Structure 1
Amino acid sequence: MTRPRTMTTILVLASLLAVLAAAWGALALWVQFPAPPPRRILMACLWMAAMLALLVLAWQGRSLLPLIGHVLLLALLAAWWLGIQPSNTRDWADDVSRPSTGEIHGDIATLHDVRNFDWRTATDYTPRWETRQYDLSTLRDVDMILSYWTIEPIAHTLVSFGFENGERVVFSVEIRKERHESFSALGGFFKQFEASVIAADERDIVRVRSNVRNERVFLYKVQMPQPVMRSLFAAYVQEANRLSAEPRFYNTLTENCTTIVYGMMRRLVDGLPMNWRLLASGYLPAYVHARDALAPGVALDVLRERGHINARAHAAGDAPDFSQRIRAGVPGY
């Protein structure tokens, strides 16, 4: 008996949804199921096999059984998934073991657990966590720093605040890795990491990327009125305190180092448009340049060329004037 065209269309659409649900569930189980890797792979395969078997039954005309089976499997998956909650109490990697917090009273900002590690290699370092104070009335400039370690669309975004006395502090929204973990863009989609805000010295958080990990690092001076700089600094402190009190999962697409900054900026600057380059953070300088918020009158390719700091960072090493030396030749300085 020929199946009516409308029923066939519905079945095709339902099948596409079932395949997507099967793929998503398999990836979620592979990343998050609490078992050694072989058992995680087995669970993902069993899930995929069960979902596809029910789909075959649906195409054979046994409509009720596949429907009930899919509903039950998805309900079980959803219950398990919703039960995975963020936490601030895990065995954290050393560099994210103490996320920053702070308070602001008048012009004085006090930051706790400012990271100032002395990095020799990626695994050989001296940990240092410090309490520092900054006079926000002397806030002078804001820089955007991007670090690339893979394909061009993917970069990590850091924001550096400079003061009249030459001090600088960098804020970075980081994945909070456990001691046995390493970064995974896929894991970032599936609740593998919490998010944290790290405040750090540039000789730590910039130099570890340029000199130790040999990532490609670019620095851009951002044109920003002093009141907005100050508000952005305060927004970072608020976000750090919020994450310290109420942990949230990092998400590669929606809750990452760039989208969180964008969310803070939207509260400060009216009419800031959403743009695909906020998701492909490697292209963020083009977005900021289009808003006339980088060095005025300088082409983007020139800003990129002069903002590439790796050679200067290697020459500076861990010198006390590291921050000044990496800015030599950067438009705006």
Structure 2
Amino acid sequence: MRRVRQRLHPIALVICSVTLLLASAWGAFALAYQAPGSPVVKGVATGLWIVFSIAMIAGMWRRRVAIALPLFAAAFALLLVWWHHLPASNDRVWADDVAQMTSGTIDGSHVTLHNVRNFDWRSDTDYTQRWETRHYDLDQLESVDMILSYWSGPAIAHMLVSFGFNDGQHVAFSVEIRRERDETFSEIGGFFKEFELSVIAADERDVIRVRTNVRGEDDTLYRVKMPLQAMRELFLAYVNEANRLVTTPRFYNTVTANCTTLVYHMMTGIVGHLPLGYQLLLSGYLPEYVYARGALDQRETLDTLRALGRITGRAKQADASANFSADIRVGIPAL
């Protein structure tokens, strides 16, 4: 028994040390991104936390477990309390493209969307701003399309969901970070409350064209098979989520609250249980997930749908066309 205890003690010490190391790393990132004050103050707070954590881990190895472990646990608990009470806000100096918040009013089958974005983009820094009020009749809703915009290899894409009406109108919803004017996107920052969450309704010529024609992203459009009632419910779910964010701001999260997981939760509320899959995190592979659920055109292979739905070239050619939405769908079979 003594030999077993002698072996267990260092094993337990290693486990505790690794646990403290992971917790201290999380705390360092949390302070680096969210400690109040200037970058210098953030750096000092982060540095002090790292020194404290190293001292506690060293203390455990020097047989001071009874002191080091409770002391670290208490400090980490205080850090978690502070973290939990960090408030999301709608009151910041926002970047122009997320400066307004989409909201909607619902009157039976008629929906009025406020602050629909319809920018005329010439470059990422040169654009004409337009925020518009638009009206939609859900009785005229006839299609839902999923657009994947690839900007960082095959595994990472931004997802848009576009609703089409039989009068030719399309409106695309995009779940995005609501970044401040001087901020740029950071996957790591997305884990540490760096950005608020935003639901933007936009004209397709804005939200697709800025990606294909201005930012050099590669977009693919897939027609989604859904019952009309489910289409309506998804549209209203976007509107309701946008309205909630107006009154109750929420932080974006790279994993739990992003452009795919938010839609996943909307859809589970509409159709019931949907299995989890790695494609919900590696959003570039989302078409495989949707195809396997039978929600894409099963008459064609996924490779064929991907080839037919690649709209980048058509978007560049359409550019200023008043029929942008129709032009980018040329050659994509209707369901």
TM-score normalized by the length of structure 1: 0.96
| Equivalence for 2:223 | 221
1:40 aligns with 2:68: no
How many percent of aligned residue pairs carry the same amino acid?
53
Q: CA deviation at 1:30?
A: 1.8
What amino acid is aligned across from residue 141 of structure 1 in structure 2?
A: S
Q: Does 1:7 align with 2:9?
A: yes
Identify which of 123, 126, 132 aligns with 1:124: 126
CA deviation map 1:86-125 (0-9, x unaligned): 0111111111111100022112111111111111110111
Query: Which residue among 278, 301, 309 is the counterpart of 1:307?
Result: 309
Q: Aligned residue for 1:87?
A: 89
Q: 2:204 aligns with which of 195, 199, 202?
A: 202
Q: Which moved more, 1:60-69 or 1:158-167?
A: 60-69
Correspondence for 1:167 among 169, 181, 204: 169
Q: Equivalents in 2 of 1:110, 1:287: separation in Å?
A: 32
Letter in 2 for 1:134: Y
- Code of the aligned partner of 2:268: R
Q: 1:7-37 CA distances to partner (integer Å, 9 max, x unpaired)?
A: 3222221111101001111111222223444
Tell me the CA shift for residue 187 of structure 1: 0.6
What SS does structure 1 have at the residue aligned with 2:112? strand
In the TM superposition, what whole-angstrom CA distance separates every residue of 1:142-162 from its partner, at most 9, and x where no partner exists?
A: 000011111322111110000
Q: How much does 1:39 deviate? A: 4.2
Output one character per residue of 1:216-269: Cα deviation in whole Å (capped at 9) or x when no partner.
Answer: 111111111111111110111111111111111110000111011010101111
Name the aligned partner's letter for residue 251 of structure 1: N
The aligned counterpart of 2:264 is: 262
The within-5 A match list for 1:221-300 is: 221-300=223-302
**Aligned-partner Cα distance in 1 for 2:34–2:273:** 38
Provide the aligned C-alpha RMSD in A: 1.7
Describe how 1:57-72 pairs up with structure 2 within 5 A.
57-72=59-74
- Structure 2 Cα separation of the partners of residues 208 and 136 of structure 1: 27
Change (3 A) 1:40 1:331: farther
Q: What corresponds to 2:159 in structure 1?
A: 157
Q: Give, in whole Å, the separation in 2 of the partners of 1:63 and 1:106.
A: 64
Letter in 1 for 2:110: I
CA distance in 2, matches of 1:268, 1:68: 46
Partner residue in 2 for 1:115: 117
3-state SS in 2 of match to 1:256: coil
Which of 7, 21, 24 in structure 2 is aligned with 1:22? 24
Query: Distance in 2 between the 1:196 and 1:121 partners?
Result: 22
1:213 counterpart letter in structure 2: R
2:137 to 135, 145, 161: 135
C-alpha displacement of 1:38: 4.5
Question: In structure 2, how many angstroms separate the alpha carbons of the residues matched to 1:64 and 1:296?
Answer: 63
Q: For residue 247 of structure 2, what is the amino acid of its counterpart?
A: A
Moved more, 28-37 or 311-320: 28-37
Aligned to 1:186: 188
Q: Give the Å deviation of 1:283.
A: 0.7
Structure 1: tracts of 5 or more residues without a match: none
**Counterpart of 2:250 in 1: which secondary structure?**
coil
CA distance in structure 1 between the aligned counterparts of 2:289 and 2:127, rounded to whole angstroms: 36
Report the count of equivalent residues: 333
Taking the aligned partners of 1:48 and 1:217, their CA distance within structure 2 comes to: 43
* Secondary structure of the corresponding residue to residue 312 of structure 1: helix
1:74 paired residue number: 76
Distance in 2, matches of 1:328 and 1:294, equals 18
- Structure 2 unaligned blocks of 5 or more: none
Give me the whole-angstrom Cα distance separating, in 2, the residues matched to 1:322 and 1:115: 15
* Residue type of the alignment partner of 1:245: T
- TM-score, with length taken from structure 2: 0.95
CA distance in 2, matches of 1:271, 1:192: 31
